[in-house]
Structure formats: C-alpha cells, structure tokens
Amino acid sequence: MLPLVGHTTQRQALSTLVREERLPSSLLFAGMEGIGKHLVARELARQLLCQTSPVIPQGGCGECKPCKLFDSNNHPDIHTLTFGPDGASVDDIRQVLERLSLRAFMGTRKVAIFNNADSISMVGANCILKTLEEPRPENFFILIAANPSKLPSTMLSRCQRWFFDRLSEDEIRSVLLARGASEEEMALATLADGSVGALSTIRARIENADEITAVLDAAWRGDLARITRAAQEWGTEKTTLAERLTFLRMQIRQRLVTNASDAGAAAVWAHALQNTIDAEYVIIDRHVNPTLILLRVLQGCSHEYATGYRMTPNRYPTILEDLAL
C-alpha cells in the first residue's frame, strides 16, 4: 500500500470531526485520480472503527483489535466497492446495504467506501440514494470521485463535499522513496502532474514524453518545420492523441513552474498551458481538426512571444476565445 502523504488540512479537519462526533454520515471525496483520496478514506474509516479511549488519534491507534483487523482487511464493519466497467454490480450494492442495515459486529459504527462513484449506474445510484436520504446514525458513507459532476444531483445534495488537490513534486517523491524507486523513476515525478497514479502510465510510455520534450524545445526556438511535422504526425495518430495531449499539458505546466522567476518565459508557458487545456476540449469533445489546433498550440510556445504575452496579453486570445466555442 502506498504511504499516505499530503492533504494535511483535510485529514486533520476530518479527524477533528470524528473526535467531536460531528462527522456527517455521507461524504464525497473529489479530486483527480491517483492523488490518495482512497487512502484518506481508509485513514478516516480506521479512526471511525478504532476503539481506543478516551481520545482516538487521527487514523486510529493501530494497536487495538479493530485496527489490527482493519489493517489485515478482515474488519467485518468496513465495506468497499469499486465501480467501473468491470467493477461492482447493483447486486453488490444491495448486499453491502443489507449488511449496513444489521448491527455492527464490533463497536457501534460501520463504514462503506465507494471508489469511482462517478462510474456508478443510474440504478445503482438510486439504490444508494434511498439509504443516503434516511441514514442510520451508526453508518458512514464515503464516495470517491474524480468527476463528481457525473453523479446525480440528488446524491450530491446529500453528501458533504471535500476537495483534494494535486500532490506536490516533493510529496510524490516521498511516496516514491518509500517504495524504493530508482533514480529513473524519481525523475518521472516532474511529469506526474500531481498524481502518483499517473506514474505507471508515464513509465510505460516514456518515449512519448521524450518526444514532446524535444518538440517543445523546438517550439521555444521557433523551429516551424519541426513543430509543423509534429502537429501533422500527432494529429493523424488518433489512438495516441489523447495521451499526447495529456503529456503536452503536463510538460507545459512543468515549464511554467520552472520558469516562474522569468516573467517573459512564464507568460509564454502560462498562455500555452491555457491553449493546451482548450485544445483537449476542442479536439476531444468538439472534434475540431487536431493538426491545426496542435500547430496553434506549438506556435504559441516560441520565446519570440515572451514580451508580447507579458505586456499586452489581450492581443493574444486563447484558442477558445479565438474560436468562440
């Protein structure tokens, strides 16, 4: 299991609510994938089920019988379902809800964690909704979602929302160190875009990242021939287009952070980052010609624009502003 790092403010606040017995029965943990929302949910559940007294420490004591059963995944009062194409079914949901209707096996509380709740079917959501509308005081629900807007509004209205931001590079490196990562793997932290979960994808397709680095270097130099060729190649490779856009956004964001002290360079990369975010939308969702959009993004990464972006940013509309979409 990955070590739990980051999200200190949220974790401390949740722990305080447990100790003061003010924790809402239904919570929604929202934030991008791979940043540790599930680990925070487990830390919270462990504290809820811990039987240390009089004050239960954040995450539980780790020494009492419930904590030890929890750590060995044998605690009878914690129920976890993961949704998705090959995930939990409606029958699985009904089984969990039936168990929650019974008395707790240990202590007085029961916890249900629903991973990828934004992938739940409408039928499954309606099953859970009935329970959320009339919660039992001893039951706690933690829904985890990268895109909470996909959940029904009726379900959202019954959950207290907690938002989790990207991890910092230092936090990602601390996770990698705990896992005994190699120097090569540690170097990937700069490309993770705040998500430990993204590292496996990056590692598997690092060649794409190397190519994008070279193209961005060419774009900064103003090498029109090189970036035109890249835009044409990337735009016609439909199967890898979304992945390349993700890598492109991640690397541009990293260049923005790296050049924060250089006002001109930072202006170039800030404008490029917004253009890349716009590009993901217009290419993937609006099906605008990818080659033309990619060329537009790369052309805007030239050092020649440093003064213009910084002094008169309104003269340079972003892609969405230009297309008026």
pLDDT one-digit tens code per residue, 3-34: 688 999 999 999 999 999 999 999 999 998 88
**Looking at residue 176, what is its pLDDT?**
79
**Looking at residue 241, what is its pLDDT?**
87
Domain with CATH 3.40.50.300 in the chain: 8-163
- Please report which confidence band the pLDDT of residue 184 belongs to, taking 50, 70 and 90 as the band edges: low
Domain with CATH 1.20.120 in the chain: 205-323
Pairing of strands 26-30, 160-163: parallel
pLDDT one-digit tens code per residue, 245-273: 888 988 898 899 999 999 999 999 999 99
Structure tokens at 289: 């010609």
Cα gap 293→299, rounded to integer Å: 10
**What is the chain's mean pLDDT, rounded?**
89
Q: Taking each helix axis from N to C terminus, what angle separates 238-258 and 263-280, rounded to the nearest 10 degrees? A: 160
Helix (H) or strand (E) holding 78: strand 78-82
**Looking at residue 208, what is its pLDDT?**
67
The CATH code belonging to domain 205-323 is: 1.20.120
pTM: 0.65
**Looking at residue 179, what is its pLDDT?**
74
Burial label for 243, CB within 10 Å (0-12, 13-18, 19+), is: middle
SS (H, E, C) 145-206: ECCHHHCCHHHHCCCEEEECCCCCHHHHHHHHHHCCCCHHHHHHHHHCCCCHHHHHHHHHCH
Q: Which CATH number fits domain 8-163: 1.10.600.10, 3.90.550.10, 3.40.50.300, 3.30.2020.10?
A: 3.40.50.300
- With a cut of 90, say whether residue 139 has pLDDT above it: yes
